[in-house]
Chain A
Amino acid sequence: DAKTTQPTSMDCAEGRAANLPCNHSTISGNEYVYWYRQIHSQGPQYIIHGLKNNETNEMASLIITEDRKSSTLILPHATLRDTAVYYCIGAISGSARQLTFGSGTQLTVLP
Chain B
Amino acid sequence: DAGVIQSPRHEVTEMGQEVTLRCKPISGHDYLFWYRQTMMRGLELLIYFNNNVPIDDSGMPEDRFSAKMPNASFSTLKIQPSEPRDSAVYFCASSSERLEKLFFGSGTQLSVL
A interface residues, Cβ below 8 angstroms from B: 32, 34, 36, 41-46, 49, 93, 96-103
| Number of A-B residue pairs having CB atoms within 8 Å of each other in the complex | 48
A56, B22: Cα distance in complex, Å = 35
10 contacts between A and B (CB under 8 A): A34-B100, A43-B4, A44-B43, A46-B103, A49-B101, A96-B95, A96-B100, A97-B31, A99-B45, A103-B42
Q: Which residues of chain B are within 8 angstroms of A34 by Cβ–Cβ distance?
A: 100-101
User: B6-42 interface mask toward A, CB cutoff 8 Å, 1 = contact, 0 = none?
Assistant: 0000000000000000000000000101000000001
Q: Are A43 and B42 in contact (CB under 8 A)?
A: no
How many chain B residues touch A (Cβ–Cβ < 8 Å)?
Answer: 19
Q: Are B100 and A43 in contact (CB under 8 A)?
A: no
Measured CB to CB, the nearest residue on chain B to A102 is: B42
Dominant SS among interface residues on chain B: strand
User: B72-113 interface mask toward A, CB cutoff 8 Å, 1 = contact, 0 = none?
Assistant: 000000000000000000010101000011111111000000
* Cβ distance B69 to chain A, nearest Cβ, rounded Å: 15
Measured CB to CB, the nearest residue on chain B to A48 is: B101
Report which residue of B42, B45, B93, B102 has the largest number of chain A beta carbons within 10 angstroms of its beta carbon. B102
Q: Which residues of chain B are within 8 angstroms of A43 by Cβ–Cβ distance?
A: 4, 91, 93, 104-107
* Cβ distance A69 to chain B, nearest Cβ, rounded Å: 22
Q: Which residues of chain B are within 8 angstroms of A32 by Cβ–Cβ distance?
A: 100
Q: Which residues of chain A are within 8 angstroms of B104 by Cβ–Cβ distance?
A: 42-45
